[in-house]
Amino acid sequence: MIPELNQPYTDKVEALNIKPSARRLLVSIEKQALYLLENNQTLIEYKVSTGLKPPSNTDGSGGTPLGLHRIRDKIGNGAVLGEVFKGRVSIGKRYQDLDSADQKPNLITTRILWLEGLEPGFNKGEDCDSYSRFIYIHGTNHENKIGRPASGGCIQLSNVDMLALYNSVEAGDHVFIGE
């Protein structure tokens, strides 16, 4: 089965005159799901958590941005499952090793896929730039919230799923986020 977001993805790349990527990620905010497709075949579906606030491309909104993106950077090669990143740099500890107060906020764990918007004036450029907003796909220390909105705008996966996804994609692969 091809997820319903594949056609909007295809329409968007055609409208922007961008060559579709053979491997792509489709994120459904409504279903709290991420689909990995290759050559228009769904390989796997992951449960995710998107922004707790409504979807938004506006800087400072806390909402998950919509539209066409690409994976600009992959961060975290060699990190252990649950390893915590601050400013995209490992702190050298897993979230389980932190005291309970340090585990309360959403932490960025295991791996990071840093997204860059591809739609000027929508998710790329002044006041709406996904890359400068630090919008990632990443692991989380709050795996019990996966499947419902819970993030500050990023797309969160369980740590095991994040590791598998990270190993299945490359920088440059497209990510389409739809409602």
CATH superfamily, domain 6-178, is L,D-transpeptidase catalytic domain-like (2.40.440.10)
Task: Please report the pLDDT score of residue 29 as a whole number.
Answer: 98
CB–CB of 71/115 below 8 Å?
A: yes
Whole-angstrom distance, CA of residue 144 vs CA of residue 32:
14
Q: Which amino acid is at 164?
A: A
Residues 6 or more apart whose Cβ sits within 8 Å of residue 7: none
pLDDT per residue, tens digit, the chain (179 aa), is 688 999 999 999 999 999 999 999 999 999 999 999 999 999 999 999 999 999 999 999 999 999 999 999 999 999 999 999 999 999 999 999 999 999 999 999 999 999 999 999 999 999 999 999 999 999 999 999 999 999 999 999 999 999 999 999 999 999 999 99
Task: Please report the pLDDT score of residue 3 as a whole number.
Answer: 86
Task: Please report the pLDDT score of residue 179 as a whole number.
Answer: 94
Which pair of tokens denotes residue 26? Answer: 């489709």
